[in-house]
Amino acid sequence: MSLEFSKRLAAHETPIPGVVLYDLPVHGDNRGWFKENWQREKMVALGLPDFRPVQNNISFNEKAGTTRGIHAEPWDKFISVATGRIFGAWVDLREGPSFGAVFTAELDPSQAIFIPRGVGNAFQTLEDNTAYTYLVNDHWSADAQGQYTFLNLADETAGISWPIPLDQAELSDKDKAHPRLGKVSPMPAKKTLVVGADGQLGKALRNIYDGDPSVEFASRREFDLTKAESFNNRNWKNYSAIINAAAYTAVDAAETPEGRAAAWEVNVTAVALLARTAVEHNLTLVHVSSDYVFDGVREVHEENEPFTPLGVYGQTKAAGDAIVSVVPRHFIVRTSWVIGEGNNFVRTMANLAAKGVKPSVVNDQTGRLSFTADIAAVIRHLLDTEAEFGTYNFSNDGPTRSWADIAADVYEQSGASRGDVTGITTAEYFADKAAAPRPLNSTMDLAKIRRTGFDVPDANERLTEYLKSDVEKP
DSSP string, 183-249: G--PBPPPEEEEESTTSHHHHHHHHHTTT-TTEEEE-TTTS-TT-GGGGGGS-GGGEEEEEE-----
Strand partners for 293: none
**pLDDT by residue, tens only, the chain of 474 residues:** 567 777 899 999 999 999 999 999 998 888 888 999 999 999 999 999 999 999 999 999 999 999 999 999 999 999 999 999 999 999 999 999 999 999 999 999 999 999 999 999 999 999 999 999 999 999 887 666 668 899 999 999 999 999 999 999 999 999 999 999 999 999 999 999 999 999 999 999 999 999 999 999 999 899 999 998 999 988 898 899 999 999 999 999 999 999 999 999 999 999 999 999 999 999 999 999 999 999 999 999 999 999 999 999 999 999 999 999 999 999 999 999 999 998 899 999 999 999 999 999 999 999 999 999 999 999 999 999 999 999 999 999 999 999 999 999 999 999 999 999 999 999 999 988 889 999 999 999 999 999 999 999 999 999 999 999 865 554
d(CA 443, CA 454): 18
Model pLDDT, residue 237: 87
Model pLDDT, residue 470: 67
Task: Using alpha carbons only, give the angle 123, 133, 85 rounded to the nearest 5 degrees.
Answer: 50
Model pLDDT, residue 94: 96
Q: Which among 83, 75, 40, 36 has a CA at the least distance from the CA of 58?
A: 83
Q: What are the Cα distances from residue 163, in Å, to 4, 68, 91, 304, 346?
A: 21, 14, 17, 57, 70
d(CA 77, CA 69): 14
Of the residues 12, 22, 27, 71, which is catalytic? Answer: 71
Model pLDDT, residue 471: 54
Break the chain into its structural domains and give their ranges: 10-183, 191-472
Reported as type and span, the H/E element at residue 466 is helix 459-472
Of the residues 22, 132, 134, 313, which is catalytic? Answer: 134
Model pLDDT, residue 317: 98
Whether 71 sits among the annotated catalytic residues: the reply is yes
Task: Quickly count: other Cβ atoms within 10 Å of residue 75's Cβ.
Answer: 20
Model pLDDT, residue 139: 86
Does the structural domain 191-472 have CATH classification 3.40.50.720? yes
Model pLDDT, residue 474: 42
Does the structural domain 10-183 have CATH classification 2.60.120.10? yes
Angle between helices 403-413 and 345-355 (to 10 degrees): 50
Question: What pTM was estimated for this model as a whole?
Answer: 0.88
Model pLDDT, residue 101: 97
Cβ neighbours of residue 134 closer than 8 Å, sequence gap 6 or more: 56, 57, 59, 77, 78, 79, 80
